[in-house]
Amino acid sequence: MTLIKAYNTVRQRSEQICKPLKTEDYVVQPVVDVSPPKWHLGHTTWFFETFILKPNLEGYKEFDPEYNFVFNSYYETIGARVIRTDRGNLSRPGVEDVYKYRAYVDAAMQELLNEEVKAELRELIVLGLNHEEQHQELLWTDIKYILGHNPLFPAYDTNIDGSVNKENSFGKFLDIENGIYEVGYSGNAFCFDNELERHKVYLQDFSIAQELVTNGEYLEFINAGGYTNFRFWHSEGWDWVKNNHIPNPLYWHNIDGEWYHYTLAGLKPVDLVAALCHISFYEAAAFAAWKGMRLPTEFEWEIASEHFDWGRRWEWTNSAYLPYPGFKKAEGAIGEYNGKFMINQMVLRGASEVTPPGHSRHTYRNFFHPHLRWQYTGIRLVK
């Protein structure tokens, strides 16, 4: 695929995700971790304007000088910005203005991409496309949170079918022998800097589940009093459960004695043989302890992933998000992309049903704080 075709495909996909939304849906921010869809559309556009067009397209005039303040996310190098908690207060610029902004930047990018693009600039554009694909997944998860916390539980799309997430290898484990293994990205295609450098690790013998934990298995944990027994929880996890009155996974609702959960197709009965979703690290670790097992380390997951299907859920690992040996941050604002977040977060591996096509790798290192569960997160056990 040519670079210009890849650019157009990615940019169109973001707008396609938002197509079913009402105008009012674009501006809601229920919690700090969720950004309004309008902001995602503007921020990904700002990335191309700021890092690609302004330094590289002669005569380019930015769409609106105030947008640098509005759509900068966390780049201290670039200057002041709207704080994350205030993104939902941005009634202006309007949704129509943001789409005009996207069209303006896209037109300038066509001009740039119609000329020969040097290797260094090409790498930066590819980073921008992968950045937008990350925000496409965030669009799905944020839209689900916005609609799933609307008291009416409105459907995003009634035609969406989650039945592809059935599990069919209950109780089967893969045995991996101890030894020295190599982990980290190897190849010439795109990867994020946190996947580098490739290095050796030693692993003990372990057995890893072929399938993810199902809703039915997790319901057994709930019914056994899992959320009321401190013995299975990390200290911080137990505080999180008590302080936030957590009784079940995100989007689950017990209505007249029956379990339902909010899906992008609306409120549905919980499918007991489907893969569990929207679980925090605290819940994942507690469930594993209740089963007398544990979560895999990210290195165990990477080595074993060649032998099982993955990609339906982001899978919590028992690994803190830390730099690999030899990791180097890039100079300037791009160096702020991953490295500065390597503290107080846990690694997730795999992908999810809302990960954009071609965006996943078995070396991909996702990372979130342990209490977060609005992403499509699940559990794979190790013993």
Q: What is the pLDDT of residues 205-264, one digit of tens each?
A: 999 999 999 999 999 999 999 999 999 999 999 999 999 999 999 999 999 999 999 999
CA gap 346, 366 in Å, rounded: 8
Class of the domain covering 3-148 = mainly alpha
Q: What six digits make up the tokens of 169?
A: 């290898």
Q: Rounded to two decimals, what is the model's pTM?
A: 0.94
Chain-wide mean pLDDT for the chain?
Answer: 94
Residues 73, 89: Cα–Cα separation, whole Å: 15
> In angstroms, rounded to a whole number, what is the distance separating the alpha carbons of residues 75 and 334?
8
CB 252 within 8 A of CB 222: no
What radius of gyration, in Å, describes the C-alpha atoms of the chain? 22
Contact indicator for 141, 23 with CB cutoff of 8 Å: no
Q: Are 286 and 237 in contact (CB under 8 A)?
A: yes
Q: What is the pLDDT of residues 275-316, one digit of tens each?
A: 999 999 999 999 999 999 999 999 999 999 999 999 999 999
**Cβ atoms within 10 Å of 100's Cβ, excluding its own:** 14
Residue type, 220: E
Residues of the chain with CATH 1.20.120: 3-148
Helices then strands, counting H and E runs in the chain, come out as 10, 11
DSSP at 228: G
Q: How high is the pLDDT of residue 162?
A: 59
**pLDDT in the model for residue 168:** 65
Q: How far is it, in rounded angstroms, from Cα 121 to Cα 99?
A: 25
Q: How confident is the model at residue 379 (pLDDT cuts 50, 70, 90)?
A: very high
- The band of 35, judged by pLDDT with boundaries at 50, 70 and 90, is very high
Among 75-84, 99-108, 112-121, the range scoring the smallest mean pLDDT is: 75-84
- Is CATH 3.90.1580.10 correct for 163-378? yes
The reported pLDDT for the residue numbered 91 is 86
Q: What is the pLDDT of residue 315?
A: 98
* Phi, psi of 258, deg, nearest 5: -115, 145
pLDDT at 167 over 80: no
Q: Going by C-beta distance under 8 Å and a sequence separation of 6 or more, which residues neighbour residue 66? A: none
| pLDDT computed for residue 165 by the predictor | 58
More confident residue, 112 or 160: 112
Q: What is the rounded CA–CA span in Å between residue 363 and residue 89?
A: 37
List beta partners, residue 258: 255
Q: What DSSP designation does 53 have?
A: I
Q: What would the mean pLDDT of 311-334 be, rounded to a whole number?
A: 91
Residue 169: band (very low, low, confident or very high) from pLDDT cuts 50, 70, 90: low
**Are 21 and 37 contacting, i.e. CB atoms less than 8 angstroms apart?**
yes
Q: What pLDDT, on the 0 to 100 scale, is given for residue 19?
A: 97
Positions of CATH 3.90.1580.10 in the chain: 163-378
| Nearest partner of 43 among 138, 179, 184, judged by Cα | 138
